[in-house]
Amino acid sequence: MTDLFQNLFLGFSVALSLTNVFYCFIGCLLGTLIGVLPGLGPLATVALLLPVTFTLGPTSALIMLAGIYYGAQYGGSTTSILVNLPGESSSVVTCLDGYQMARQGRAGPALAIAAIGSFFAGTVGVLMIVLFGPVLAGVALKFGGAENFSLMVLGLVMAVVTAHGSVVKAICMTLLGILFGLVGTDVNSGVERYTMGIAQLYDGISIVSVAIGLFGIAEIIANLELKEKREIFTDKVKGLMPTREDFKRSTGPILRGTAIGSVFGLLPGTHSIIASFASYTVEKKLSKDSDKFGTGMIEGVAGPESANNAAAQTYFIPMLTLGIPTGAMMALMLGAMMMQGITPGPQVMTKNPDLFWGLIVSMWIGNLMLVVLNLPLIGIWIKFLTIPYRFLFPGIMMFCAVGSYAMNSSAVDVYMVGAFGLLGYVLAKLDCEPAPLLLGFVLGPMMEENLRHALLVSRGDPSVLITHPISAAFLGISALSIIALIVMPRLRKQRNLMMAEAGEA
């Protein structure tokens, strides 16, 4: 217990240093901004800022990137409520009732309850990391090559299971990502693989190019193909204060949403969008007037918003303690860590305690900042919503282009952005989701290293993966999840239904 307080004290002393508070603030501000703006997601933003954070220390860099991520979750709710367009994919559920509330002139209370619920959930989420992080890391420290390899397989499988649509396609995307991750000099033998003689590729394809291409450029192309249609309720935001009745009705959903979100964030592969959808379903089932959901029920805003923010926090646990990214965003965070020369894994907590605890505490401080930032500044955020897309997208392209060039001062990185943008666009047309590709890309080289190590120790006997009990358990769960999804059509149907509803909302 004293350890815990010592750690938290260390965290506070790191997170409250002037520089880190500043970067946390910048991160939250940028995150809210891009969360509000539809068209530029947090993934593309974090990818864009990776080269910029390169010059900061690892702690400040991660604090800022994390701020962008959860700031975007907050900002996304503003757009959902006011424009009926999710600024960020996890806020789609908020659109259902939040937008209806705005149409009835109750945008203010909807936004306030979303912010309060998110703050409460964020606080609980951070506490979860503090309590469970060290336990998990302690277990994972004992893992060898076989366990690590199998854990990565499990991580990828979970990403596949929770991806949209076809399981086979998601597996293919993961494998393709692993292959792209192998481009460059083989660390073990020094052989240059798949570089096609291009010197700029000897260090591998940059994660920045892959992420900006897949999540920035492909998105722009897709957006341009749609006609713009927005209906904004900007003048109707007055009277932020929710009524006593609103508070009374929201308390239960916030508590339940937080619980649901915390658990969903912990499970490998589940995303905050599923958490918010689950919370919405629960509230609808529990409510006496469930048929009124979708017409502006405050419960339908309070629950999902709390759930997605709690999940956004606990989402960090597997990445920080095991070094396993459970989603595209955590894959980028892992990439940022590696660019800073930190080997991800359970040893981060003991080797870089200031980074680990500083980041966690900064997330709580950031959540506090967001409440302060979002509520009074809502008027300014709304102004941003009125910027026409024809100005937004070339501006975003400029940041993508200069950002990717600046990292290595190489035009090859810009060409790579274009190539991955095109690939992402075509694959999206064929119903192949890009997130598993990025996950595979980050984990690919680590998987090769761990497999090599495991096979070296076992003298080339691949059965080591199933004779070590923990490794076998990971592989078993992976296999069962995939088989269950393929063999049980009911489960698959439910999953698709959930995804589809969440996707259409």
Which residues here bind other proteins, judged by CB under 8 A?
52, 55, 166, 168-169, 171-172, 175-176, 178-179, 182, 186, 188-189, 191, 193-194, 217, 220-221, 224-225, 227-228, 389-391, 393-395, 397-398, 400-402, 405-406, 409, 411-412, 414-415, 417-419, 421-422, 425-427, 429-432, 444, 447-448, 451-452, 455-456, 459-462
Backbone angles phi, psi at 229, to 5 degrees: -150, 110
The smaller minimum CB distance to other proteins, of residues 240 and 412, is found at 412
Cα 402 to chain centroid, rounded:
24
The smaller minimum CB distance to other proteins, of residues 132 and 405, is found at 405
CA angle 159, 213, 419 (to 5 degrees): 115
Residue 189 CB, shortest distance to other proteins, in Å, is 5
Residue 196 CB, shortest distance to other proteins, in Å, is 9
Residue with tokens 């506070």: 12
Residue 358 CB, shortest distance to other proteins, in Å, is 23
The smaller minimum CB distance to other proteins, of residues 10 and 56, is found at 56
Neighbouring residues of 235: CB distance < 8 A, sequence distance ≥ 6: none
Residue 327 CB, shortest distance to other proteins, in Å, is 21
> d(Cα 364, Cα 349) in Å, to the nearest integer?
18
Residue with tokens 């940028």: 30
Residue 455 CB, shortest distance to other proteins, in Å, is 5
The smaller minimum CB distance to other proteins, of residues 221 and 466, is found at 221
> d(Cα 478, Cα 483) in Å, to the nearest integer?
9
Residue 179 CB, shortest distance to other proteins, in Å, is 5
The smaller minimum CB distance to other proteins, of residues 333 and 437, is found at 437
> d(Cα 169, Cα 181) in Å, to the nearest integer?
18
Q: Are strands 192-193 and 184-185 parallel, antiparallel or unpaired?
A: antiparallel
The smaller minimum CB distance to other proteins, of residues 138 and 395, is found at 395
CB 38 within 8 A of CB 86: yes
**N-terminal to C-terminal alpha carbon distance within the chain:** 45
3 state SS for 105-137: CCHHHHHHHHHHHHHHHHHHHHHHHHHHHHHHH
- Give the closest residue to 230 by CA, choosing from 106, 111, 385, 98: 385
Find the helix or strand (DSSP H, E) in which 184 lies: strand 184-185
Cα 110 to chain centroid, rounded:
24
- Give the closest residue to 40 by CA, choosing from 216, 206, 164, 198: 216
The smaller minimum CB distance to other proteins, of residues 9 and 194, is found at 194
Residue 5 CB, shortest distance to other proteins, in Å, is 39
Residue 184 CB, shortest distance to other proteins, in Å, is 11
The smaller minimum CB distance to other proteins, of residues 53 and 270, is found at 53
The smaller minimum CB distance to other proteins, of residues 56 and 470, is found at 56
- Give the closest residue to 52 by CA, choosing from 23, 29, 28: 23
Residue 412 CB, shortest distance to other proteins, in Å, is 8
